[in-house]
Structure 1
């Protein structure tokens, strides 16, 4: 689009720069997880005891309407009773619930979602707070984007990840400026992870040093005027 473009400085849009092998963790269900369940079947509605399912987009909190896995990891369903999902991935859990429904419903189709995948983003970002996602493979960049992205003073080379596992708080630090972050095992979040975005040193300079310098110069100017008037 330019009259005299520098061809050597223009990247090729169809050129593959690099390929990374992603290390997506497989989340396994555990006691306390809350799941939404929606079941479709060819069984007439009056005989389908799960036909209404659980709405995840209603005005009420979907967690309150979901199925909470008990201390042994069981989902307790009407008519069927307990279905143990402890240690299963979401695809495995869908298959097991489907098999449990087959004796009662004709050709059941199960839609199962995890409602308690929460994470927190704090620090020098576009927004802060606790967020909930209905996908179980969200990565750090997606989580930060959901929170409003980076601010002008975000230190993209200093991102901390706090993870709570087995009674311990584990701290990881990485840079999203490094392409290799895409292949790191901690690039994908786990429930209850906390992301901390550090500020750039320039923010401290602007908010503290420059403000103090301005105040100091103002005081010097005031004192100079007073001394000049006193000497006259």
Structure 2
């Protein structure tokens, strides 16, 4: 169960109505781009495609990365996290040895350098660190006015990673392309919580520079959407603790079983000794 409220109607009591029952203020602060973020940059304009030097530059980077990845894959056997390789040949024949590499979306994006700049052809370096995605779009658009006719710029963050650990069905590190990813999205990607998960105190650890900020969120409460840890930031860590009943089952019951086993063995030994002495 998620997002419950004491005033929620019972089964069969829900009436069809368009009225707003409750309203919450959310803490969805726009993400500010950081050094080493990976972004995609798309430009639409009335300028013919053959003059789109940004797209051409990105395609060239993709080819270079593809070749580098191929060379690395042939040397160390490949990295399954970043590429998939398979032999191909005609039907009925053995593989020809051709190994097409399927690059993930991060391999075709632009990387903001350690100083927070993005280098583009013709334009040069553009300072993006500290800007929201919308602000970065407007800044790059202003730089392109002299090169494109009525340009429209769209930026997407490709390096939005977060980790989910604990009482979920599939722990792991996940990537989202939605800047408004939230805790419920993370739970869904992790294939939901287990039956023993404590839904009332999920921990969200957020790393900011040299600090680690810790939030607790209660997914049982409807006002979860207004809690500061509801919307995620890149590199967040979500830890789902177990219910105390699960902890007791995991640690207390085995200890109790061991004690009972030792006691039973001791009693059996005493009975054997007594029988032999009679």
- Assess same fold via TM > 0.5: yes
SS at match of 1:162: strand
Aligned residues: 225
* Distance (Å, rounded) in 2 between the aligned partners of 1:30 and 1:215: 53
Contact 2:33/2:130, CA 8 A, preserved across alignment: yes
TM-score by length of 2: 0.69
Q: Does 1:103 align with 2:103?
A: no
SS at match of 1:169: strand
Q: Does 1:197 align with 2:240?
A: yes
Tell me which residue corresponds to 2:70: none
Tell me which residue corresponds to 1:14: 16
* Distance (Å, rounded) in 2 between the aligned partners of 1:152 and 1:173: 19
TM-score by length of 1: 0.81
Comparing both chains, which one has the higher relative contact order based on Cα–Cα distances under 8 Å and sequence gaps of 6 or more?
A: 2
* Distance (Å, rounded) in 1 between the aligned partners of 2:34 and 2:10: 54
Over 3 Å counting, the alpha-carbon distance change for 1:13 and 1:149 in structure 2 is farther
Tell me which residue corresponds to 1:42: 46
Determine which structure has the larger strand proportion and give its number: 1
Bigger drift between 38-47 and 168-177 goes to 38-47
Tell me which residue corresponds to 2:31: 27
Over 3 Å counting, the alpha-carbon distance change for 1:207 and 1:71 in structure 2 is closer
Over 3 Å counting, the alpha-carbon distance change for 1:47 and 1:197 in structure 2 is same
Contact 1:119/1:192, CA 8 A, preserved across alignment: yes
Tell me which residue corresponds to 2:172: 129
RMSD, aligned α-carbons:
2.9
SS at match of 2:137: helix
Consecutive unaligned residues in structure 1, runs of 5 or more: 1-6
Once the two structures are TM-superposed, the CA of residue 14 in structure 1 deviates from its matched residue by: 3.4
Bigger drift between 14-23 and 184-193 goes to 14-23
Cα deviation code 1:141-198 (max 9, x no counterpart):
2222212221111001121111122311222223222222221222211121111111
